[in-house]
Amino acid sequence: MLRQIILLIVGGIITLSINYLWENFKTSVKEVDYKITKDIEFISTPEIPEHKVEIYVDTHKKKLISRVQVDIFNFSDKDFKKIPIYVSLKTKDKKPLNVILSYEESYKNIPSSVEKITDKKLLPKNDSSIYGYEIKLLKRTSGYATGLKVVYLIDGKIEDPIIEVFTTQEGVVMVPFDYTHSSATVRNNILATLLLIGLIIILTIIIIFFVVPLLNRLTYPLDKKPRLKYSKELSELLKQNSIMQSFSLSEIQSTQVVNEILYLQRKNRWNLKKNVVKWIDGLVEPKQNDYID
């Protein structure tokens, strides 16, 4: 019974540990982070007395320009080839923002590593607010290096814009940027996991070698009633045995024989046990009065 309890405890702890590691490091769906930075008054026309200051983008005069920057981070454990990334820019009324121009920067500014999707038929839906990009190779980033940066200059002041970043790549989901997703943080998580496993091992040792022996020692008197019942049942069987009846043993003698046999049996088993098993059993050595009421 004790061995079964120990196996259940150890098995449960191992199962929880494996499940914890699996959930944290072996997920089938990969996550790609995105970070949105908004500057609602990136450039505005200053008012200088007795001077006229104007802002032009190409040949177009502008009074105020807002800026939206989208950064893509691949903190997963996998590189992605030809992964499409889409950015939707809308006003709070769900109308397309008036984008003056946009430009993108790829990982380490490698030429031709990102291509803007200009064919509207390749977009997931016919929506003028969606801008698409195909990243030829979105490498795993160490630290907080960005895999793609896209900057949008927007005419006028943007108030509560609706900005969505998504992908149609199978097995990939876009999630808001979280620094804990970084590989640097993952390394810390691994150390934390190893520490957790260490604590679990220590807890297991404490349970097996201290808690279980203490419980066995404290609960040993509670097992006397089942032992007495078992002894009585054997005594009754001996009375009904024809061979034992030929010895003409009294009821008291028959009971003493049974008790002595049971004691010697437990004593022999105890002597064959290793010291570590005796310790787990609470160092409770069998006694002759274990079967005497």
Q: Are residues 202 and 287 in the same domain?
A: yes
* Residues 113, 116, 121, 122, CA torsion sign: positive
What is the chain's length? 293
**What is the predicted pLDDT for the residue at 118?**
82
Count Cα neighbours of 111 within 13 Å in the Cβ-side half-sphere.
Answer: 0
* Maximal C-alpha separation, the chain: 134
Q: Higher-confidence residue: 203 or 8?
A: 203
Same domain, 61 and 106: yes
**pLDDT higher than threshold 70 for residue 243:** no
Q: Give the range of the structural domain holding residue 272, as residue numbers without chain letter.
A: 187-291
43 and 151 belong to one structural domain: yes
pTM: 0.54
Could you report the per-residue pLDDT of 96-127, keeping only the tens digit for each?
Answer: 999 999 988 876 666 568 888 888 777 877 77
pLDDT for residue 157: 86
Whether residue 118 is contained in a domain is answered as yes
Tell whether the model's pLDDT for residue 10 goes beyond 70: no
Exposed/middle/buried for residue 271 (C-beta within 10 Å: 0-12, 13-18, 19+): exposed
Residue with tokens 């007795």: 50
**pLDDT at 257 exceeding the cut of 90:** no
Q: Which of 18-22, 35-39, 214-218, 233-237 has the lowest mean pLDDT?
A: 18-22
Question: What does the pLDDT read at residue 250?
Answer: 66
* Higher per-residue confidence, 100 vs 241: 100
Q: Last residue of some domain: 112, 146, 179?
A: 179
The answer on 154 and 60 residing in a single domain is yes
Q: 153 pLDDT exceeds 90?
A: yes
- Tell me which of 225 and 240 has the higher pLDDT: 225
Q: Which residue has the higher pLDDT, 286 or 65?
A: 65
Helix (H) or strand (E) holding 216: helix 212-219
Shared domain for 227 and 160, answered yes or no, is no
Q: In which band, very low, low, confident or very high, does the pLDDT at 249 lie, cut at 50, 70 and 90?
A: low
Per-residue pLDDT tens digits for 177-186: 987 777 655 5
> Average pLDDT in the 10-34 region?
68
SS3 1: coil
3-12, 73-82, 162-171, range with the lowest pLDDT: 3-12
User: With pLDDT > 90 as the criterion, what percentage of the chain qualifies?
Assistant: 19
Average pLDDT, the chain: 80
Q: Looking at the structure, do residues 33 and 125 belong to the same domain, yes or no?
A: yes
Q: Would the CA dihedral through 47, 51, 52, 57 be positive or negative?
A: negative
- What CATH number does residue 166 fall under? 2.60.40.290
Instruction: Tell whether 1 is covered by a domain.
Output: no
Percentage of the chain beyond pLDDT 70 is 80
**DSSP 3-state of 53:** coil
The model's pLDDT over 59-88, given as tens digits with 9 standing for 90+, comes to: 888 889 999 999 999 888 788 999 999 999
Domain tally, the chain: 2
What pLDDT does residue 27 have?
A: 52
Question: What DSSP element (H or E) covers 81?
Answer: strand 80-90
Could you tell me if residue 3 is inside a domain? no
